[in-house]
Amino acid sequence: MHLEMSSDLTTASFLSVLRRFIGYRGVPAEIQSDNAKNFSGARNELKALYDLLNDPHNCSAFSKEPFHQGIKWQFIPPRAPNFGGLWEVAVRSVKTVLKKEVGLQQLSYENFTTLLVQITATLNSRPLSPLSDDPTEFEVLTPAHFLIGSTMKSLPEPNLMTVSTNRLDHYQQTQQMFQRFWQRWSKQYLTQLQVTTTNLPISPIQIGGIVVLREDNLPPLCWPLARIISLHPGFDGIARVVTVKTATGVYKRAVNRICPLPNNNEDQRVPRSSMIPAILNS
């Protein structure tokens, strides 16, 4: 995921955002968007630019790369946001939490840009799938692997969650907002993971599977990972407790304190009948 700040919703502002994105990530092969006027206007302007640069009379005056390739632009149907569900859900989750944490506070361009970049790193740090079946390894695939080839890391910061705002300078206030964003968003994300995996036809709680532990007051970008090494069924045959192995030790956890990854291994899955029917939110 990539977040950029725009001063307004005009075509010119969006083109500036697009150029910054290309500078960071490279030229995209395809763009999918809704039918907002700034998007459709940008597509028309880019198409005119590509046509100009690909004109035989102008080819000698401009470099052909990357303009000769162009960008394929796909619009979803009008008044059908469900067609863009993947990005709509992700953007809405960020905007909802961001509005609650920033509220009516006024941030400078520098501080707000810093906040957005840190939020981007948070979103791209979330674990997606195990990278190995080795029970001694806990490395997982994240969106950051597709962007930088490794996991996201952040600089250590003191915990500012409980410090009064009037005691903080502008930079520290921005870091406090980010820490609060992390606490709220990560909790909502893990809860959503539990709800999503509960509705699967086969239980994702499996021996050897990697899970995220629900711990309190973790620093940003910290996802405590563990592998399930045993299940503990109750008298009714339903396993409500599991034993997990982390990089530091072996622990018992209730199933409502662990979150299976959205794309976990499918080997050795146990029937859902042996698991708790519904995972309760903590």
pLDDT of residue 274: 41
**Residues β-bridged to residue 260:** 211
pLDDT at position 81, please? 65
Q: What is the pLDDT of residues 138-178, one digit of tens each?
A: 899 999 999 889 999 888 889 999 999 899 999 999 999 99
Q: In this predicted model, what pLDDT tens digit does every residue of 260-269 receive, in sequence order?
A: 988 765 544 3
pLDDT at 42: 60
CA distances from 197 to 41, 52, 155, 243 (A): 40, 50, 32, 19
The CA distance from 256 to 281, in Å, is: 7
Q: What is the DSSP string of 101-162?
A: HHTT----HHHHHHHHHHHHHHHTTS--EES---TT---EE-HHHHHTSS----------TT
pLDDT at 17 over 50: yes
Q: Is pLDDT of 41 > 80?
A: no
Residue-wise pLDDT for 80-137, tens only, equals: 666 666 777 788 888 889 988 888 888 999 999 999 999 999 999 999 999 888 888 8
Q: Are 143 and 90 in contact (CB under 8 A)?
A: no
Report domain extents, the chain: 11-79, 99-274
* Tokens at 75, concatenated: 């619009």
pLDDT at residue 280 in the model: 34
pLDDT for the residue numbered 79 = 67
Tell me: the pLDDT tens digits for 243-258?
999 999 999 999 999 9
The pLDDT > 70 percentage for the chain reads 75
